[in-house]
Amino acid sequence: MAHFKEVSQQSGLHPKPAGLVLQYGTAGFRTNANQLDHIMFRMGLLATLRSKKTKATIGVMVTASHNPEEDNGVKLIDPMGEMLTSSWEGYGTQLANTEQEELLTTLKDIVEKEAIDMSHEANVFVGKDTRSSSASLSQAVLDGIKALGGHSKDYGLVTTPQLHYMVCCQNTQGKYGDATLEGYYSKLSQAFSQLAKNASNRTDDQKHLRVDGANGIGAIKVRELESHLKKDLQLSIFNDGSRGKLNHQCGADFVKVQQKLPIGIKINPGDRCCSFDGDADRIVYYYTDSKGHFHLLDGDKIATLISSFLKELLNEAGLDLKIAVVQTAYANGSSTYYLENTMKVIVRCTKTGVKHLHHAAQEFDIGVYFEANGHGTVLFSRGAEGKIQQLAADTNINDERKKAAFLLQNTINIINQTVGDAISDMLLIEAILAIKGMTVQQWDTIYSDLPNRQLKVKVSDRRVIETTDAERRAVTPAGLQDAIDDLVKKYKQARSFVRPSGTEDVVRVYAEADTQENADALAHEVSLAVY
Ligand code: 16G
Ligand code: ZN
Q: Which atom of ligand 1 is nearest to the CA of 330?
A: 12
2-157 and 299-418 have identical folds:
yes
> Contacts from 188-191 at CB under 8 Å and sequence distance 24+?
188/225, 188/228, 188/413, 188/414, 188/416, 188/423, 188/424, 188/427, 189/225, 189/228, 189/229, 189/427, 190/413, 191/410, 191/411, 191/413, 191/414, 191/427
Q: Which of 437, 319, 321, 308 is nearest to 381 (CA)?
A: 321
Distance in Å, CA 269 to ligand 1 centroid: 32
Q: Measuring from each residue's beta carbon to the nearest atom of ligand 1, which residues come in under 6 Å?
A: 26-27, 352-354, 371, 373, 375, 501-504, 508
Give the residue, out of 26, 418, 497, with the most ligand 1 atoms within 8 A of its beta carbon, to mutate for a pocket test: 26
pLDDT in tens, 413-457: 999 999 999 999 999 999 999 999 999 999 999 999 999 999 999
| CB count in 10 Å sphere of residue 53 | 18
CATH of 452-530, one of 3.40.190.290, 3.20.20.150, 3.30.310.50, 3.90.79.10: 3.30.310.50
Distance in Å, CA 31 to ligand 2 centroid: 14
Q: Exposure string (b/e) for 367-381, b if CB count within 10 Å is 16 or more?
A: bbbbbbbbbbbbbbb
pLDDT, averaged across the chain: 96
Distance in Å, CA 86 to ligand 1 centroid: 15
The DSSP secondary-structure symbol of 228 reads T
Question: Which residues are near ligand 2, the ion (C-beta closer than 5 Å)?
Answer: 65, 277, 279, 281
Q: Which atom of ligand 1 is nearest to the CA of 500?
A: 17
pLDDT for the residue numbered 201: 81
* Cα 307-310-313 angle, rounded to 5 deg: 150
Which of the four pLDDT bands, split at 50, 70 and 90, describes residue 2?
low
Catalytic residue among 8, 11, 51, 65: 65
> pTM of whole model > 0.95?
yes
Which of the four pLDDT bands, split at 50, 70 and 90, describes residue 407?
very high
Q: Which architecture, in CATH terms, is 2-157?
A: 3-Layer(aba) Sandwich (3.40)
pLDDT for the residue numbered 231: 83
Residue 291: burial class (beta carbons within 10 Å; 0-12, 13-18, 19+) = exposed
More confident residue, 502 or 473: 473
Give the residue, out of 375, 462, 504, with the most ligand 1 atoms within 8 A of its beta carbon, to mutate for a pocket test: 375
pLDDT in tens, 189-212: 999 999 999 998 888 888 999 999
Q: Known catalytic residue: 424?
A: no
Count of residues in the chain: 531
Residue 468 is inside which H or E element, if any? Answer: strand 466-468
pLDDT in tens, 242-257: 999 999 999 999 999 9
pLDDT for the residue numbered 1: 59
Q: What are phi and psi of 497, to 5 degrees?
A: -150, 160
pLDDT for the residue numbered 25: 86
- Measured from the alpha carbon of residue 275, the closest ligand is 2
Domain coordinates in residue numbering, the chain: 2-157, 183-297, 299-418, 452-530
- Farthest CA pair distance, the chain: 70
Residue 360 is inside which H or E element, if any? Answer: helix 354-361
Percent of the chain residues topping a pLDDT of 90: 93
Q: Which of 257, 323, 244, 251 is nearest to 281 (CA)?
A: 251
Residue 100 has pLDDT above 70, yes or no: yes
pLDDT for the residue numbered 266: 86
Residue 3 has pLDDT above 90, yes or no: no
User: What residue owns the CA closest to ligand 1's atom 8?
Assistant: 27
pLDDT in tens, 52-69: 999 999 999 999 999 999
pLDDT for the residue numbered 34: 96
pLDDT for the residue numbered 130: 98
Percent of the chain residues topping a pLDDT of 70: 100
pLDDT in tens, 359-391: 999 999 999 999 999 999 999 999 999 999 999
> Contacts from 9-13 at CB under 8 Å and sequence distance 24+?
9/147, 10/41, 10/143, 10/144, 10/146, 10/147, 11/38, 11/41, 11/42, 11/100, 11/103, 11/147, 12/100, 13/41, 13/143
Q: Which architecture, in CATH terms, is 299-418?
A: 3-Layer(aba) Sandwich (3.40)
pLDDT in tens, 314-351: 999 999 999 999 999 999 999 999 999 999 999 999 99
Distance in Å, CA 149 to ligand 2 centroid: 30
Task: Give helix then strand counts, H and E, for the chain.
Answer: 19, 19
* Whether the Cβ atoms of residue 38 and residue 144 lie closer than 8 Å to each other: no
pLDDT for the residue numbered 4: 87
CATH of 183-297, one of 3.40.120.10, 2.120.10.30, 3.40.50.450, 3.40.50.2300: 3.40.120.10
